[in-house]
Amino acid sequence: MALTVGFLGAARAPQAAATGAGSAYVPVTPARLLDTRTAGPGGSDLPLGEGATLSLQVAGRDGLPSDPSQLTSVVLNVTIVNPTASSFLTLYPDGSTRPITTNLNFTAGQTTANMAIVPVSTANGTVAVYNKNGTTDLLVDVAGYYTPAAAGASTYDTVASTRILDTRNGTGETNGTPAPVGVGATLPVTVEGVAGVPTTGVTAVVLNLTSAGSTLGSFLTAYPDGTTRPSTSSLDFAAGETAANLVIVPLPANTTQIDIYNRNGTTDVVADLFGYYTSGTGATFVPVSPTRMLDTRTAGTGGIDAPLSANTPLKLQITGVDGVPADSSSVTVTAVVLHLTVVNPTDASFLTAYPDGTGRPITSNLNFSSGQLISNLVIASVGPDGAVDVVNKFGTTDLVVDISGYYSS
């Protein structure tokens, strides 16, 4: 039996739907916008302090339009290094009120990354980055942006969540033989013509990358096959950690594969496919005011005050609440952008998000160990009833869910 989160708590009263036309996506060559460990990208060589907010210029940099009106949102990969305390980051349009939501949750000493889709200030083309506790170095890489200008931009199509790579059993590997990715090695993975992705018109793919059984702390970089590997990272992890991160990997014309590079040691790699961007017809992205739709630590947000138990799906109503419109003759919501955070899990486990009313796939969205505080961004397909299910595999865990946008056609 599934638990249901919908119009349950006072905080979940229906809100006005987001207004304005949706925006299409433009992938860019991944580039580093900020590295506080050096005085290079971003111009800051100091860690982000406790309670501090950093203003990051994005408009006009590394393939992004200089006119802020052409930047609805920017897609960033945000990595923290050497944090001195357990904390979280919140990213939001510079000059606006900081929301109560989070984009990256972490513990002291951890190196971890999350993708974030962040609205950009229309006044000056900047985003704000806030750190709650302690100090931390910060890396910010750009992957693309959403724009109201349709020319040359791409729309989004969902696919049934599919595991297209698992080096533990040989899935997706050229010879089908199980083998981890070695130090300095690059693994090609076919994405066009796989799991519902067409063979033409694809401009980027949406994947959840997971590392498992790593022998050293390292990072993965995912990029188009046949191109120069960028100096950015897609997933950072410690030795022995099972870690995951959402990535949007560009796919230039006449490219059917992506490459996944591993920096140090050896690690198994899992890649789950959730959708793709296309030059053809698809859904456009509409940001909403970031809202906390569920916090199982308190009954005031989402109406559930008990941790998720094992293998009991939690139903999240998406359409008709928190700025997302109800489906109508003119609007069909196909996917939603959620930030999932686990708190105080009792066992090593993983979460899977999938359309309500469909079978649970074998994919995962967030992997964690016992007692870990960790988060990940999810672009989840919405079921025919406008809902998404989230299920925890082992033990129990509290869950926090923030919503920041949706895709509609």
Per-residue pLDDT at 320 exceeds 90: yes
Residues 264, 309 share a domain: no
Name the domain boundary from 119, 147, 175: 147
Shortest CA distance to 345 belongs to which of 320, 312, 367?
A: 367
- 401/311 same-domain check: yes
**Which pLDDT band holds residue 5 (cuts at 50, 70, 90)?**
low
Query: For 356-378, what is the mean pLDDT?
Result: 96
Q: How far, CA to CA in Å, does 169 sit from each of 245, 268, 334, 367?
A: 21, 10, 32, 18
Give yes or no: residues 270 and 300 share one domain. Answer: no
Task: Report the C-alpha gap between 7 and 52 in whole angstroms.
Answer: 35
Contacting residues for 344 by C-beta, under 8 A, at least 6 apart: 307, 371, 373, 397, 398
pLDDT, tens digit (0-9, with 9 covering 90-100), for 87-136: 999 999 999 999 999 999 999 999 999 999 999 999 999 999 999 999 99
**Mean pLDDT, all residues of the chain:** 92
- Any idea which of 67-81, 138-152, 290-304 has the lowest mean pLDDT? 290-304
Q: For residues 226, 227, 232 and 235, what is the CA-based torsion angle, rounded to 10 degrees? A: -20
Residue finishing a domain among 147, 174, 203: 147
- For tokens 């992705």, name the residue: 197
Range of the domain at 352: 3-20+284-408
Please check whether residues 192 and 92 belong to one and the same domain.
no
Average pLDDT over residues 49-61: 96
Spatial neighbors of 336 by CB under 8 A, at least 6 apart, are 318, 324, 379, 380, 382, 388, 403, 405, 406, 407
Task: Examine the domain organization and report whether 247 and 175 are in the same domain.
Answer: yes
- Alpha-carbon separation of residue 333 from 124, 202, 328 (angstroms): 31, 21, 9
Task: Indicate the pLDDT class of residue 338, thresholds 50, 70 and 90.
Answer: very high
Examine the fold and report which residue of 278, 307, 337 is the final residue of a domain before the chain moves on: 278
Determine the residue type at 345.
P
Please indicate, yes or no, whether residues 333 and 241 belong to a single structural domain of this protein.
Answer: no
CB atoms within 10 A of CB 242: 21
Residue 13 pLDDT greater than 60, yes or no: no
Q: Locate tokens 């229309």: which residue?
A: 122
Tokens of 394: 């082992």
324 Cβ neighbours under 8 A, 6+ residues apart: 17, 18, 288, 318, 333, 336, 403, 406
Same domain, 124 and 159: no
In the block, which residue shows the tokens 């997971």?
210
pLDDT range class, residue 8, cuts 50, 70, 90: very low
Average pLDDT over residues 326-331: 84
Do 79 and 161 belong to one domain?
A: no
Quick check: 45 pLDDT over 90? no
pLDDT band for 2, please (50, 70, 90 cuts). Answer: low
Per-residue model confidence (pLDDT) at position 149: 81
Among candidates 282, 219, 271, 217, which has minimal Cα distance to 249?
Answer: 271
pTM (two decimals): 0.92
pLDDT, tens digit (0-9, with 9 covering 90-100), for 17-38: 444 579 999 999 999 999 999 8
What is the pLDDT averaged over residues 154-159? 97
Residue 25 region by backbone torsions, left for phi larger than 0, else alpha for psi between -120 and 50, else beta: beta
- On whether both 293 and 404 belong to a single domain, the answer is yes
Q: How many domains does the chain have?
A: 3
- The candidate with the shortest Cα–Cα distance to 378, out of 235, 247, 242, is 247
Residues 318 and 398 in one domain: yes
- CATH classification of the domain holding 10: 2.60.120
